[in-house]
Each structure stands twice: as C-alpha cells, then as structure tokens.
Structure 1
C-alpha cells in the first residue's frame, strides 16, 4: 500500500494488478475463456493459492498441479456481472483439496 501526505490531507492508494491469459488460437471467442482462475484450497481454514492461468474446460474431479503440489478440483465457479444490459464473465474460481484429502473424503462417502 502506498500513501502520500500532501498539505492538509493524506491519501492512500492500494496497488492492484491484473492477470490476463493470452490465447494463441481463437482470439475472437468469448472473453470469459481468457479470465484467470482464483484458486482456493478449501481445507479449514481456506487458503488462497493465487491467481492462475489454467485451461478453460476444467471440471470437478480433475487433478491440477500448483507449485509442485497435486490438488483435486472440488468446485468450479463462474461469476457474471450485468453490464449495459448484458451478463459478462467477471470471475472464475476453483475450490481445490489436496489429492490425499480428496481420496479420504471420497472413501468416507462411499
């Protein structure tokens, strides 16, 4: 966070950044497929694994590797926002569990 002091008032500005995923093919397809995923490990307490560029067709039960650790996807969420009378993609989120915990959970349910 950056802050400035000017005269009688002080201003604070939060630094933000935007991650975009480049597509090598079909650049004119829908905008939602190029949004990065926010990845969250959902074991208590939830832990953010950051913003990642992953394939747009991920599904529950698939395995992904992030920073050398294997995770299994437990939920995929696509959020949309109404802008100018149209719903546009605004966010993609992956809820993941470490692969060992996912297998233990599936044995318990079976």
Structure 2
C-alpha cells in the first residue's frame, strides 16, 4: 500500500513479507511442533543457505533430499527449543546437507582413515 501527498513527494510504501507455513495435518503436528519449516544449509565450505523448505517431519541423517533439481544427503538434523512461560517450545528446525557426491567421497575417505 502506498500513500501520496500533494506537493513535493512524501510517500510511504508498506514492505511485503513472506511467511512459509506447512499446512498438512495441522492439529496433530501442532502438538509435536513439526509445522515449523526447515532452514536448509549446505555445509560444504563456505556454507550456503538453500532457503526455508517444508519437508516431512521425520527426516533423518543419511536420507536423500532433492532441492531445486539438485540431490543432497542430510548430514545433520537440528531442533532448537526456547523456554516460554515455563515450557520449552520448538523455535527452529535446521537441516545440514551435503551434495550426494561430496557425501559419498567423505564416507570413502573416512573408511580409508579407519583402515590405516
């Protein structure tokens, strides 16, 4: 929304904000806090944010995820909680991912280290 004044320009422009929400199974998921979307970060140096995504609430390390046509493997799943009014409430979900090729190379190199 914009408002204009006569004379030399003075106008206000309302900024738009976007909210990502996951709407499936709201009642049951609200209790478990899984309606929060995941913040996805590719952890290959330098770390790169892949945005905020609505993904299934039961993701685990080692699973494959496709984001914007690119295949990634989940390296870590982090759930953060905040204390509010004497209760811990979910505040953030984060996925650390690696490209699938990089993940396999890391596994291979770790096995080589263990063998030597």
Give the TM-score taking structure 2 as reference length: 0.72
Runs of at least 4 residues off by over 3 Å: 1-17, 24-29, 102-110
TM-superposed deviation, 1:32: 1.2
| Larger Rg, first or second structure (1 or 2) | 2
Q: Does the 8 Å contact 2:41/2:48 carry over to 1? A: yes
Provide the aligned length of Structure 1 versus Structure 2. 110
- 2:39/2:51 contact within 8 Å kept: yes
**8 A contact 2:29–2:35 mirrored in 1:** no
Structure number with higher strand proportion: 1
Q: Does the CA-based 8 Å contact 1:2-1:15 persist in structure 2?
A: no
Long gaps (5+) in structure 2: 103-107
Give 1:61 deviation, angstroms: 0.2
TM-score by structure 1 length? 0.75
Deviation at 1:23, TM superposition (A): 1.2
Gaps of 5+ in 1: none
Answer yes or no: is the 8 Å Cα contact 1:38–1:52 preserved in 2.
Answer: yes
2:101 corresponds to which residue?
100
CA RMSD of aligned residues (A): 4.3
Are the counterparts in 1 of residues 41 and 97 from structure 2 also a CA contact under 8 Å?
yes
| Shift, 1:18, TM fit | 2.3
